[in-house]
């Protein structure tokens, strides 16, 4: 009886879908061909392509504040930029930074109102711990080789509405590649989703990534009335121990191929509200209801081919429950506008396990089930200046040009003075009114400077975490980094130089702001 109802459902869906296909001109996908291994593919390669910050400056960041600093230090919000990230990024080292080329926040990595940016993990790895990545009103964004874990929407600390990576509001052309997105439970434990696309997010590819241990894998469209997001490719990803939404599709068009699904506990690919998805050469194992329309009678459509269903169980057809199985058949055709190469589904578990996720050397499949390493990897290029810098503790030779100069700042704590940073006395100091602030040295005539030395009082050494040195005449960032000390930069002639403290472990005390030619 269940098979009979499923057969009738598929016939009804097919009739509706064929009419929709005729109206939209849907045709079979174009012939397959090998895709480039080093750049964005799938839908992210359409609509002009996705290159991120390619061709722009490369900077290194070890804190969330430094990521925000790098965004805010650009000449404009569209200036190409590659941010290499190493270390653990968390709430303790992430704060809002202001500037004309950015729109950041304290409780997430905010890629908002920007374009042409690459965020890539390098070295020992980049882990965003309980801190989500938020893309809003932005375009041409690349996120690669990062781990985002345990982002919560309730409990403490919270970030990004509980999404590991979330995109919303007029976002287009984003490539997320070799990412590991993971939680430690579902909504009852305070987590929401791993990869959400909402409110007109289009031309996105998620490739060679791991999504695991979450109640919700991800969605396209935040409600049944949000059908504006579309054109999403999912390939060579591992979905493991996910309750549902792998993904949930509301309207739009998606393509999912060569993914490995293990332990989808309640449902998998949920196509609803008129969504169209091409599902090919995926491997489903030890899972339930891996494809269909679930939790609604607003039906979606699918084209299936080459998939393996290994120990997959199917529930009965019923109200708000419309599984594609136990013998999944296509009820539409989906036109795919790009070339791609398919691995046979039988080898997908092996090749995805060997390549997907952060820290895998950006290995990809060669299209014949064999992992290969594309070149160059993001660890190859050397960052260009200005680069976040660890200052040296030594004092430079020469005349301290701050002695006898003027000074001002953004604010000062009670009992401190801007003049205390240029009096040569290590027992007097300036403190900002809070944990961040700025102090400047200024001269009556243009003065050449190539080195500054920031000296904390003896009892507060190490309080200053992140900072940047700014040309007070032009606003250009001369250097940025973490920790007080001596830092050099290209010799610059200016009338005012500013030291901005953007992150600290308490209330900073700057005893001396030394400047040298």
* pTM of the complete model: 0.69
Average pLDDT taken over every residue of the chain: 88
Give the closest residue to 190 by CA, choosing from 160, 158, 148: 158
Sole residue written with tokens 């904390």:
456
Beta strands in 366-509 (DSSP E): 371-372, 388-389, 406-409, 437-456, 464-471, 477-482, 486-504
18, 41 contact by CB (below 8 A) = no
User: What span, in angstroms and rounded, lies between the C-alpha atoms of 469 and 45?
Assistant: 38
What are the residue boundaries of the structural domains of the chain, listed by start?
42-372, 406-516
Give the closest residue to 199 by CA, choosing from 164, 162, 167: 167
Q: What is the pLDDT of residue 30?
A: 26
Q: What is the pLDDT of residues 102-131, one digit of tens each?
A: 999 999 999 999 999 999 999 989 999 999
Sole residue written with tokens 């702001």:
513
Pairing label, strands 171-177, 139-144: parallel
State the catalytic residue, choosing from 60, 144, 212, 245.
Answer: 245
CATH of 406-516, one of 3.40.50.300, 2.40.50.140, 3.20.20.70, 2.60.120.260: 2.60.120.260
Rounded mean pLDDT, 394-412: 85
- Note if 2 is an active site residue: no
In the predicted model, is pLDDT for residue 64 greater than 80? yes
- CA distances, 385 to each of 185, 357, 474, 481 (Å): 42, 30, 17, 12
86, 60 contact by CB (below 8 A) = yes
What is the distance in angstroms between the CA of the first residue and the CA of the last residue of the chain? 87
- At residue 236, φ and ψ (nearest 5 deg) are 55, 40
In the predicted model, is pLDDT for residue 338 greater than 50? yes
Give the closest residue to 133 by CA, choosing from 232, 222, 67, 199: 67
**220's tokens:** 């396209």
In the predicted model, is pLDDT for residue 479 greater than 70? yes
- CA distances, 173 to each of 115, 194, 288 (Å): 10, 19, 32
CATH of 42-372, one of 2.160.20.10, 2.40.50.180, 3.40.30.10, 1.10.3720.10: 2.160.20.10
Q: What is the pLDDT of residues 9-20, one digit of tens each?
A: 333 333 333 333
- For 258, the 3-state DSSP assignment is coil
Q: What is the pLDDT of residue 10?
A: 34
Identify the helix (H) or strand (E) that includes residue 117: strand 115-129
């Amino acid at each position: 009886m269940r098979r009979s109802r499923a057969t009738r459902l598929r016939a009804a869906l097919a009739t509706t879908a064929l009419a929709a296909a005729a109206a939209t001109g849907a045709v079979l996908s174009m012939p397959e061909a090998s895709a480039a291994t080093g750049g964005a593919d799938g839908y992210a390669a359409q609509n002009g392509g996705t290159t991120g910050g390619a061709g722009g400056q490369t900077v290194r960041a070890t804190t969330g504040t430094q990521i925000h600093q790098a965004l805010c230090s650009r000449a404009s919000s569209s200036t190409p930029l590659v941010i290499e990230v190493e270390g653990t990024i968390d709430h303790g080292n992430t704060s809002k930074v202001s500037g004309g080329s950015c729109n950041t926040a304290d409780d997430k990595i905010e890629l908002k109102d920007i374009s042409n940016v690459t965020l890539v993990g390098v070295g020992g790895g980049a882990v965003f711990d309980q801190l989500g990545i938020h893309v809003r009103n932005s375009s041409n964004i690349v996120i690669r080789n990062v781990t985002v874990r345990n982002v919560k929407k309730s409990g403490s600390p919270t970030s990004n509405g509980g999404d590991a990576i979330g995109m919303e509001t007029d976002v287009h052309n984003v490539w997320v590649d070799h990412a590991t997105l993971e939680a430690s439970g579902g909504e009852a434990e305070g987590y929401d989703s791993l990869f959400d696309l909402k409110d007109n997010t289009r031309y996105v590819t998620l490739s060679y990534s791991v999504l695991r241990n979450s109640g919700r894998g991800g969605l396209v469209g935040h409600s049944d009335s949000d059908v504006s997001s579309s054109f999403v490719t999912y390939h060579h990803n591992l979905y493991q121990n996910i309750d549902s939404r792998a993904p949930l599709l509301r309207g739009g068009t998606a393509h999912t191929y060569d993914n490995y699904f293990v332990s989808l506990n309640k449902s998998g690919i949920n196509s609803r509200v008129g969504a169209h998805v091409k599902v090919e050469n995926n491997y489903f194992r030890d899972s339930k209801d891996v494809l269909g329309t679930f939790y609604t009678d607003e039906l979606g459509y699918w084209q299936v081919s080459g998939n393996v269903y290994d120990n997959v169980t199917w529930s009965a057809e019923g109200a708000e429950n419309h599984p594609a199985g136990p013998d999944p058949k296509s009820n539409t055709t989906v036109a795919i506008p790009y070339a791609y190469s398919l691995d046979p589904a039988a080898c997908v578990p092996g090749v995805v396990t060997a390549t997907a996720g952060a820290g895998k050397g950006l290995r990809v499949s060669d299209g014949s089930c064999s992992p290969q390493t594309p070149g160059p990897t993001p660890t190859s290029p050397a960052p260009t200046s200005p680069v976040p810098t660890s200052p040296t503790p030594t004092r430079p030779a020469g005349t301290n040009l701050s002695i006898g100069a003027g000074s001002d700042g953004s604010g000062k704590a009670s009992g401190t003075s801007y003049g205390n940073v240029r009096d040569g006395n290590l027992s007097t100091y300036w403190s900002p009114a809070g944990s961040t602030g700025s102090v400047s040295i200024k001269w009556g005539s243009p003065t050449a400077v190539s080195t500054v030395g920031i000296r904390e009082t003896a009892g507060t050494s190490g309080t200053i975490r992140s900072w940047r040195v700014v040309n007070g005449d032009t606003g250009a960032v001369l250097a940025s980094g973490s920790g007080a000390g001596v830092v050099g930069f290209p010799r610059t002639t200016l009338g005012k130089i500013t030291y901005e403290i953007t992150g600290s472990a308490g209330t900073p005390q700057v005893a001396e702001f030394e400047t040298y030619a």
